[in-house]
Structure 1
C-alpha cells in the first residue's frame, strides 16, 4: 500500500508566480459571483482538475482533522456511482481503496445518504480509514443536480463521519434553464453551519462549452500578441494541447488555510505550474466578460432543447432516464429490456456500449466506465449526437473505443442539424434493440 508522506513547509514559491496569481484573483471573482467569497491565498491552481484532486486527496490523508488522521490504517475514498472516471483514478494513484455508493433515484452526482453511512461503516469494519467523499453538485454523467434538501442530508452524513467533502463543481454553469435548476455548493451549506473546514470546492475549465473555448482561444491570441503557438496540434491562437486549468477553493479558517498551504506545497513539489499564455487565457475566462456569458447561456439553452428532445425519445421507447437539467449527456437504464437484449447477446454494459457504438457511432459509453457494475445495462449517451451518426457508424462497423471524455460535448449545439432525423435514428436503434426480435 502506497502512502503519501507528511510534507512540511508552505507553497510560497508557487503562490508567488505572477501568472498563477492572476488566475487565483480571477477565480476569487468567479466564486464571489456564486456566493462563495474567497481571497487569493484560499485558491490553488493547477494544469488540470485531476491533478488538483490528487493533491487535495493527498493533503487530506495526511492533515490532522482532514479526515485521514495521517492514515495510520489503509485509507479509503468514497464516490457516488456513476461518477467521472478520473475521480477514482486519482484516489487509486495514491493507493487509496475506492468505495462507490449508489446515487438516489432522483439525481446523480451525490450518494444516497443512508447508503453512504453504510459504506463508511463497512470501510471501517474492514480496518480502513475513510477520509474523503468526492461528489458533483452538477453531474455531467446523468445531466442532473441534487435537490438542496438531499444535498444537505449528504453533507450532514459526511460531516458526522468526519469526511472531507470535495465538491466537483466543474459543470455548474451548464444549466439548461438556470431559473429552473438550483445548483447549491456544499461550501455554502457548511459555511452557514459553521463547518466550512469540511469542504473543498474544485472546478476544471475544460468543462466549458464552445463559447468558453472560443474565449480561451481569444485570450490566448491576445496573450501571445497574435503569434502562433507552436507545438504538435497547435495553430494560431489555439491553446496548446494538454489539460485545461483547474482551480480549488479552501475554507477561510485556520484549518482551511493550513490545508491550502499543504496543497500548494504538494503542487510545488509536482512542478504543477501553468504556462504564461495558458494562465492569461484562464484568467480572462474566469473574469467572464459579457460576451462570453451571453454565448454560454445561448449554448446551454440550445443544448437543453436537444437534451429534452432526446430524453422524450429514449423514455418513449421504454428506457429509464432521469430528466436532464444541465451538462451534455443522458444516462439510460435499459434493464427493463434485459430478456430482449439477452436474446441479442447483450447481457452487460460493455456489450451494450459496443452495440450502440456500432449503430450510432462513438457517442455512447457503458455505465461500467463510470463505476456502475458491469452487469447493469446502463449507458451514457451524448446529447450532441450529430445527425447521420447511425449512417456514419454503419450497421456493419466495428465497435471501436468511445470518444474521449468531453470530446462529443465540445461540438457546438448549433452544429446539430436535421434534429428530427437524429432523433428518429436514436429511436429506431433503441426500438430495434428492444422489440424482442432477433437478427
Structure 2
C-alpha cells in the first residue's frame, strides 16, 4: 500500500545519501571545482573554545564507566530538561555516542511498527528496517514538517492494522529536517491525543529545539502533554556544531513502563556502544549545565541560522518555488512544481533529476526529496543553509559575529552564485 515500507532482513551496502553526497562534493572540491554546497546537514561552525577545554580536561577519563552515563552528566542533562518544563530525575536519562544510537536502540526494544512523517530525516526509515519493522508514512500538514498530518494519521493507523501491520511507535521531530519548520503547540496536542487513543509510544526527536530562529516562539514538547508515553531524544550535534563528537541523550518516562524501557535500551547499549566516551561525558556535563557564556553562543548561532535560512528561502521563492518559511534549524525545502514545464524542457522531470542537474550543470549541491521519502516525481529538495557560512574557521567565526552576515563578502558571494544558478535553471 502507499505509505508503507516493507520490513527486510537484507542489509544494503549503500551509505546514507547525505553522507554519500558530501563525499562526492569533497572529491569535486579537491579537484578544484567550485560548488555551492547545500547538501549536507551539518552546522558548519567552529567549536566553542570552552567545549574544547572541557574535552581536554576530560582526556584522562579512560575507564568505561556506567553504561547509562556517569551521575554528573546525567544530573546536568536532567537540569537541562527541568529548565524546559520537563521535571527530570537523573535516573530517567541515558547518554550515548550520538542520538542515532539511541533512536536505533528504541526501535530494537519497543514493539510495533513505526509511523513516520513523509518526508522525514533520511535515517528513520533505514533504522525501522534494520529493526525488522515496517515504516508507515503519513504526509505532513501544510503548516509544518516533521509530524504527520493529524487529519490523516488516525485513518492511516486503522488501515495499517487492517493490512496486518502493528503500529506501536510515532516519531515526531520539531523543528524538523528536511523542512526547517516547527510544529505549533495545537498541532502537537492533536497528535498527542491520537497517540493516547491508539496506545502509541512517542519518540520526540528534539535535536533542533535550541535552534529556533525566534527565541520567543512557543514550543511544546509531547513530553509535556503525554509524559508517560514520550521519550525525548536530543544531542549536541546541531545546537553546538559537535556532529563529529557524537554526543546524544534520551529522557525516558518516570513511571514503571518508562523505567523498563530505559533498562531495555541500556541492555542494548551494554552490548553495542558500552558507554559514551569519558571525555565526551565531560563535554556533555559542561554543555548541559548551560553556563551563561554557552547560552550566549547558542543564541548567536541560532540568530545566524535564521538570517541565512531566510535569505535562501527568499532566493528560492523569487525563482518561482513554493516553500514553507523556515523557523528552526538550518534547512529550507522548496518545491519547484510551478516550474515543471520549464524544467521538463531541460530534461528534468523528478527530484533526483533536479538534484543531478543542479550539481552537474549549475554547481549547486542539494539533496532530493526522494531521499527523505518524498514522492520521487516531486520537484522538491532540501537545502542545508549552514554550509554557506564559510570555508574556513575564520570565515565561519566572522559570519557568527557579524551584525549583518549577509553583507560579508564570502556569504554574499555564495548567495549570488546560488541566485545565478537558479536563474540559469529557470530562466527567471
TM-score w.r.t. length of structure 2: 0.78
Partner of 1:346: 348
Pairing 1:23–2:59 present: no
**CA apart distance, 1:361:** 4.5
Q: Which residue of 1 aligns with 2:82?
A: 32
User: CA contact under 8 A between 1:110 and 1:135: conserved in structure 2?
Assistant: yes
The answer as to 2:340 corresponding to 1:309 is no
Q: Secondary structure at the match of 1:85?
A: coil
Is contact 2:390–2:396 with CA below 8 Å preserved after alignment?
no
| 1:42-94 alpha-carbon deviations (Å, 9 max, x no partner) | 11121121110111122211xxxxxx3xxxxxxx2111022111122211111
Partners of 1:2 and 1:428 lie apart in 2 by: 43
- In 2, the alpha carbon distance for the partners of 1:424 and 1:362 equals 12
**SS at the partner of 2:123?**
helix
Equivalent pair of 1:331/1:380 in contact (CA under 8 Å): yes
Matched residue of 2:348: which SS? coil
Q: Does 1:249 align with 2:251?
A: yes
- Structure 1 equivalent of residue 301 of structure 2: 299
Q: CA deviation at 1:26?
A: 1.2
Output the CA distance in 2 between the equivalents of 1:140 and 1:78: 16
SS across alignment from 1:259: helix
Distance 1:385 1:256 in 2: 38
Tell whether 2:73 aligns with 1:42.
no
Residues 362 and 435 (structure 1 numbering): CA distance in 2 closer, same or farther, change over 3 Å? Answer: closer
- 1:332-384 per-residue CA deviation (whole Å, 9 max, x = no partner) reads 10111111111111111111111222356564111011111211110111223
Counterpart-to-counterpart distance in 2, 1:280 and 1:387: 28
| CA distance in 1: counterparts of 2:287 and 2:390, whole angstroms | 33
Partner SS, residue 194 of structure 2:
helix
Distance 1:164 1:15 in 2: 29
2:39 corresponding residue in structure 1: none
Match among 398, 416, 419 for residue 424 of structure 1 = 416
1:79 is aligned to 2:129: no
* Structure 2 residue 364 is matched with structure 1 residue 371: no
Matching of residues 23-172 of structure 1 within 5 Å: 23-61=73-111, 68=112, 76-172=113-209
User: CA 1:320/1:2 → structure 2, altered by over 3 Å: closer, same or farther?
Assistant: closer
2:222 aligned residue (157, 172, 186): 186
Per-residue CA deviation, residues 17-38 of structure 1 (Å, 9 max, x unaligned), is 5953322111101111111111
Between the aligned partners of 1:46 and 1:151, the Cα distance in structure 2 is 27
Contact 2:350 2:379 in 1 (8 A): yes
Please say if residues 67 and 266 of structure 2, whose CA atoms lie closer than 8 Å, have aligned partners that are also in contact: no
Q: How does 1:169-248 map to 2 (within 5 A)?
A: 169-179=206-216, 181-190=217-226, 196-210=227-241, 213=242, 244-248=246-250
Preserved CA contact (<8 Å) 1:49 1:203: yes
Partner residue, 2:33: none
Superposed CA offset, 1:295-346 (max 9, x none): 1101211221112222222112221111111111100101111111111111
Matched, 1:264 2:235: no
1:273 maps onto 2:275 in alignment: yes
* Matched-pair contact (CA < 8 Å) for 2:118–2:138: yes
Partner of 1:229: none
SS, match of residue 377 in structure 2: coil
The offset of 1:388, in angstroms, is 9.8
Q: CA RMSD in A?
A: 2.5
SS at 1:120 equivalent:
helix
Of stretches 161-170 and 302-311 in structure 1, the one that deviates more from structure 2 is 302-311
SS at match of 2:305: helix
Change (3 A) 1:246 1:384: closer
2: CA distance between counterparts of 1:242 and 1:306?
23
The alignment status of 1:358 with 2:360, answered yes or no, reads yes
Confirm or deny: 8 A CA contact 1:138 1:171 kept in the other structure.
Answer: yes
**In the aligned structure 1, how far is the partner of 2:221 from the partner of 2:163?**
31
Paired with 1:40 and 1:22, the residues of 2 have a C-alpha distance of: 9
1:2–1:108 Cα change, 3 Å: closer
**Secondary structure of the residue that 2:237 maps to in structure 1?**
helix
How many aligned residue pairs are there?
358
User: For the residues of structure 2 that align with 1:2 and 1:324, how far apart are their CA atoms?
Assistant: 35
